[in-house]
Amino acid sequence: GENVEQHPSTLSVQEGDSAVIKCTYSDSASNYFPWYKQELGKRPQLIIDIRSNVGEKKDQRIAVTLNKTAKHFSLHITETQPEDSAVYFCAASTADNTGKLIFGQGTTLQVKP
């Protein structure tokens, strides 16, 4: 079945360093890849997304890259700040394009001041 693998499960970085989270997906028909940030006790919030016709997208300190051939996509956070600490989820759309998303297992990012 459709599957999204996410690594690492936990990531600890020093404030100001960069953080990279990687995901792979199984369904070559997936064409939409959002990233969600979930702070403790709060709802998952969309932070950035990318569609399959684009290789890279950037929004201030956050960027996402997509390699369709390898079925990989990654989240890059530069100049990390303590408020970036949260659980990050990647997701991929399904081939039927109904809006259903398949999520990765989540990465707990800790940014140490």
Where do contacts with another protein occur on this chain (CB under 8 A)?
Answer: 4, 6, 31-32, 34, 36, 42-46, 49, 89, 91, 93, 96-106
Please state the closest distance from residue 99 (CB atom) to another protein, in A.
6
Nearer to another protein (CB atom), residue 31 or residue 78: 31
User: What is the Cα–Cα distance from 94 to 100, expressed in whole angstroms?
Assistant: 6
Q: Alpha carbon of 16 to those of 21, 78, 113: distances in Å?
A: 16, 7, 9
Q: Cα dihedral angle (69, 70, 75, 79), rounded to 10 degrees?
A: -100
The span from the CA of 100 to the CA of 112, in Å, is 35
Residue 103 CB, nearest distance to another protein (Å)?
4
Nearer to another protein, 73 or 89 (CB): 89
Q: What is the dihedral of CA 20, 26, 29, 35, to 10 degrees?
A: -30
Output the smallest distance, CB 21 to another protein, in A: 14
Pick the closer one to another protein by CB: 33 or 84. Answer: 33
Beta carbon nearer to another protein, 20 or 102: 102
